Amino acid sequence: MAIRELRYLGDAVLRQKTDPVELFDDELGTLLDDLAETMYANMGVGLAAPQVGDSRRVTVVDVSEARDETEVLELINPVLVSRSGLIDSEEGCLSIPGVVESIERSAEVEIEYQDRNGDRHTVQGVDLLSRILQHELDHLEGILFIDHLGTLRRDMAVREFKIAMAENDLPVGPG
């Protein structure tokens, strides 16, 4: 297992629509292990493959108290099958440090996905888990949470991000 380098707003890989996984091999397992390790190392509750520069339809989520590999939810080729209700709560993203904004999301979602062996499952997400699942599925479409903001708030968010990147001596990608 290894901690992979995070990609930040401005990096083109974050804007690509990901490719479905067809090969459920050891290399996919390594990607999943590394995603989890990178998420925990950065205190995240979810991490999508594009955030480490890999354009496959893969994400990991953990909203448990324990926050270790025993609780990680690995979602491969996830698809939203139903949604209901609305919640409005604060959200951030490891690829956009320095920015926290309230975003409207569905309160409940149902997601179909495959595990690392290719077996199919369904997960129901309510409140926090629902919000994170929608955030991560967005990543797999090349959508970032600030895209849900109006123009003014979005511009402000980008400025806050650039300040946070400069303060932490992190690279801001082109565009």
The catalytic residues are 136
Which letter, b or e, does each residue of 66-99 get, where b requires 16 or more Cβ atoms within 10 Å of its Cβ? eeeeeebbbbbbbeeeebeeebeeebbbbbbbbb
- Tell me which of 9, 61, 75, 93 binds Ni ion, using CB under 5 A: 93
Rule CB under 5 A: which of 136-165 touch Ni ion?
Answer: none
Taking the complex as a whole, the smallest distance from the CB of residue 107 to Ni ion amounts, in Å, to 19
Per the CB < 8 A criterion, the answer to whether 150 and 139 are in contact is: no
Taking the complex as a whole, the smallest distance from the CB of residue 160 to Ni ion amounts, in Å, to 15
Nearer to Ni ion, 93 or 149 (CB): 93
Q: What is the DSSP string of 95-113?
A: TSTT--EEEEE-SEEEEEE
Per the CB < 8 A criterion, the answer to whether 159 and 152 are in contact is: no
**Is residue 61 a contact point for Ni ion (CB under 5 A)?**
no
Which strand (E) or helix (H) includes residue 83?
strand 73-84
Nearer to Ni ion, 93 or 137 (CB): 93
Nearer to Ni ion, 24 or 87 (CB): 87
DSSP 19: B
Stretch that binds Ni ion, among 30-38, 71-79, 91-99, 107-115 (CB under 5 A): 91-99
Nearest to 87 by CA among 147, 148, 153: 148
Size of the site for Ni ion (CB under 5 A): 1
Nearest to 107 by CA among 126, 92, 124: 126
Taking the complex as a whole, the smallest distance from the CB of residue 24 to Ni ion amounts, in Å, to 24
Nearer to Ni ion, 21 or 50 (CB): 50
Nearest-CB residue to Ni ion?
93
Binding site for Ni ion (CB under 5 A): 93
